[in-house]
Structure 1
Amino acid sequence: MARKFLYVVAVLIVIAIAALFAYRLFGPELMRVALVPTARFEPAPARTMSAYADPDAWIARPDKPGNPALYLPPGVEMPAEKGDAAIFFIHPTSYLERTRWNAPLDNAEANDRAALFVRGQASAFNAAGDIWAPRYRQATFGAFLTGQEEAQQALDLAYGDVAAAFDEFLVEAGDTRPIILAGHSQGALHLTRLLREKIAGKPVAKRIVAAYVVGWPVSRTADLPALGLPECTAPDQAGCLLSWQSFAEPADPSLILDTFDASTGFNGQPREDTPIVCTNPLLGMPGDAPASANLGTLVPSADLTSGTLTPAAVPARCSDRGFLLIGDPPEMGAYVLPGNNYHVYDYSLFWANVRADAARRLDAFEGAGESSAWSRPKPPPSAPSSRKAAA
């Protein structure tokens, strides 16, 4: 499922970024020719958590100069006392080259794009606490356009970096702070594996405020039980999972559904005709909401380096199958994908609501913790670990 769905997402995003006109003429075959690596996959040593003790291994972390996760749109201010959560954010694919199966960590172009994603997406969480966003050897887009064994090897290598970064994140964040997890697209894929392998059934699961698995389909019956968190069904619920995929209307999600329905879920059961988790970020749960409930859409500038926060820009409602429908196509920029797919803007469309959602769930988590068996003392803000201080 991971490779197949990324195939669809990769085709769509590559179209939007590089060759929409060519896709309309020649289809996915042209994308394969242009983007699938021809080189052999070269196994690389696994990164250990100690590699992520180096600040340069992160796009964002609390002590990072020029931290893109601290971006605020005009008119938005950081609260006098921000939350005490530790936030782990996994950015989407930013490497487009075909010379390698995985992005080199020092690729300037990919790193610049990743910083833009962190600026526009992870920044929604910066009032809730400190944000860590690792650099990782992400699989290139072309790896998602083929069934070659190298493609899965590329995904596994990328996930290994994410897992190592998460282990270091837990050390730096300390033993008591609440945790928010978030990702988008390829980052959301790695987040589902992180939930399965590092969190579900582990003591750290009790510290999860919420997991934002955005831009990735999650089957309620074939996937969710293996992720260790329930779906968020109330706006003040903590310890739950949110997920949405944004489409304007008329929506055509057939490319995603054709692949999704032919795949097998995390629990080994077919995904065909199963409901997809749909969180309406305007509500913090499934349902329908008018545009008046939208606290602010982050409409990006042409170069994506800044944005304007516009309230009441789009409504949202969950379709019967589980896609998030946003009404008539809003003007967001050049990267709207075929089928009225607003995948690139999944966070931007609801930036202010995501910000409020994270704060609300953190408040709920801390309120529940005061009366629970695993309540925790409030840690000092931004307290560095001994390793961090030595790095």
Structure 2
Amino acid sequence: MRKFLYIIVAGILLSAAALFALRLYGERLTELVLVPSAPFEVQGALADNAYADPAMWFSRPGMDAPADPARWQPPVDAEKSLPAATPLPSEDPAATSAGPVPRFAVFFIHPTSYYSGQRWNAPLDDEGATTLARNFVRGMASAFNPASEIWAPRYRQAAFGAFVTTQHDAQRALDAAYADVAQAFDFFLASLDADTPFVLAGHSQGSVHLLRLLREKVAGTDLEPRLAMAYPIGWPISVAHDLPALPLPACADAQQTRCILAYASFAEPAEPGQFMTRYAAEPGADGQPRGAGDPILCVNPLTGAMGGVADISRNYGTLVPDANLESGELIAGAVPARCDPATGLLLIGDPPRMGPFVLPGNNYHSYDIPLFWANLRADVTRRMRAFAAR
């Protein structure tokens, strides 16, 4: 018994030491484990017609609903906790163009799902990255499923390690990933009717590519009037140095259209640390340095307006995922939301129980969209009605 107790105490001490080391050297350890040590490999361009293949899409029109992760709906029983005024997932107002929501399309770019340190870009045949990306589409793109069409491409994403280093190869990996996304976006546009409005949505790495699409594919073109909304969630956007270079302003109120809704979620006390390291180290879209004290854009998902505070009564439903991120339950009134005026972080109060993917520093990055799933669904519905009315 005494030896057993010694083993338990030793295990506790080792765990405490590991946590202490992670807290002190977490950023350095993350780099050592996740930043690829292999040289960057130039990827060949995809075939010109690559995205004509349905297998290159996680979601696209023509897929059977059970096979399309973006058309997934939370269990019906969970919806009973939502306020009656909230558009419930079971209503499916986008089922017909004559329904209460006008016809529109969504182009959704999934976040990073490739965590290997072996390559700078994920191969398309990586099973683990593909499965996780599909689960991300199920839990995130599904918030935008009032849309008539949802398109979510597969692409040779940059590895997670590209976001925790300032090495030149990290930007090369992002450029390579963006080339695939841009090609998918061109196919998406060519597949739409010429008068169909569209929404751009993404998370994390997906938002990085979304912002570049706005600058390089949309700004100053005839696409601008058709772009109804942009949701580049989970990536820091400098109010001073990034936002002015984009073709849309930040959303000032819940009825505004042709605006940007973005935020980054942290429980309190928030310790953004590594999340802001690369942001501060790199120049903004205007070429000017951002710096650690440069506030990021925060549009409160509970109010639909830039800045401000909203209590939990405004949260229509948080999608709490299961352990495998394959399903989840909607819980109303789970978290509040407050835009911190000094940093621009979206603060959600005490740390909620969402699952094992909370990052150090109370960073709820992995749950940015699920935390406000029902509100985002109501948001895109409301704004698309306003867009059609105008």
Report the TM-score when normalising by structure 1. 0.85
Q: Provide the residue aligned with 2:63 in structure 1.
A: 64
Most deviating of 277-286 and 117-126: 277-286
Most deviating of 22-31 and 303-312: 22-31
CA deviation digits over 1:174-206, x for unaligned, max 9?
211111101111111111111110011111111
Cα RMSD (Å): 1.8
Partner secondary structure for residue 199 of structure 2: strand
Q: Provide the residue aligned with 2:299 in structure 1.
A: 279
Q: How does 1:1-391 map to 2 (within 5 A)?
A: 23-24=22-23, 26-47=25-46, 50-65=49-64, 66-75=67-76, 76-82=89-95, 83=101, 84-272=103-291, 273-286=293-306, 287-320=308-341, 321-368=343-390
Q: C-alpha separation between the residues in 2 aligned to 1:98 and 1:299?
A: 29
Letter in 2 for 1:28: E
Partner secondary structure for residue 241 of structure 1: coil
Relative contact order, CA 8 A, sep 6+: which one is greater?
Answer: 1
**For residues 64 and 354 of structure 1, do their structure 2 counterparts lie closer, same or farther at Cα, with a shift above 3 Å needed?**
same
CA deviation digits over 1:317-344, x for unaligned, max 9?
1101211111111111111122111111
Q: C-alpha separation between the residues in 2 aligned to 1:156 and 1:254?
A: 25
Partner secondary structure for residue 210 of structure 2: helix
8 A Cα contact 1:299 1:349, kept in partner: yes
Q: C-alpha separation between the residues in 2 aligned to 1:275 and 1:250?
A: 17
**For residues 123 and 159 of structure 1, do their structure 2 counterparts lie closer, same or farther at Cα, with a shift above 3 Å needed?**
same
Bigger CA radius of gyration = 2
Letter in 2 for 1:60: S
Q: C-alpha separation between the residues in 1 aligned to 2:119 and 2:35?
A: 9
Q: C-alpha separation between the residues in 2 aligned to 1:258 and 1:218?
A: 13
The alpha carbon displacement at 1:37 in A equals 2.3
8 A Cα contact 2:94 2:147, kept in partner: no
The alpha carbon displacement at 1:47 in A equals 2.5
Partner secondary structure for residue 178 of structure 2: helix
Q: C-alpha separation between the residues in 1 aligned to 2:219 and 2:26?
A: 39
Partner secondary structure for residue 137 of structure 1: coil
**For residues 118 and 49 of structure 1, do their structure 2 counterparts lie closer, same or farther at Cα, with a shift above 3 Å needed?**
farther
Report the TM-score when normalising by structure 2. 0.85
Partner secondary structure for residue 335 of structure 2: coil
Q: C-alpha separation between the residues in 1 aligned to 2:47 and 2:384?
A: 30
Task: Give structure 1 stretches of 5+ with no counterpart.
Answer: 1-18, 369-391
Letter in 2 for 1:271: R
Q: Provide the residue aligned with 2:79 in structure 1.
A: none
Partner secondary structure for residue 27 of structure 1: helix
8 A Cα contact 1:200 1:226, kept in partner: no
Letter in 1 for 2:362: N
Q: C-alpha separation between the residues in 2 aligned to 1:31 and 1:333?
A: 20
Q: Provide the residue aligned with 2:83 in structure 1.
A: none
CA deviation digits over 1:354-381, x for unaligned, max 9?
000000110111111xxxxxxxxxxxxx
Runs of 4+ in 1 over 6 A off after TM superposition: 19-22
The alpha carbon displacement at 1:78 in A equals 3.8
8 A Cα contact 2:203 2:234, kept in partner: yes
The alpha carbon displacement at 1:26 in A equals 4.4
The alpha carbon displacement at 1:167 in A equals 0.1
Letter in 1 for 2:351: P
Q: C-alpha separation between the residues in 2 aligned to 1:151 and 1:349?
A: 29
Most deviating of 276-285 and 28-37: 28-37
**For residues 344 and 21 of structure 1, do their structure 2 counterparts lie closer, same or farther at Cα, with a shift above 3 Å needed?**
farther
Letter in 2 for 1:222: H
Letter in 2 for 1:31: T
Letter in 1 for 2:46: R
Most deviating of 162-171 and 261-270: 261-270
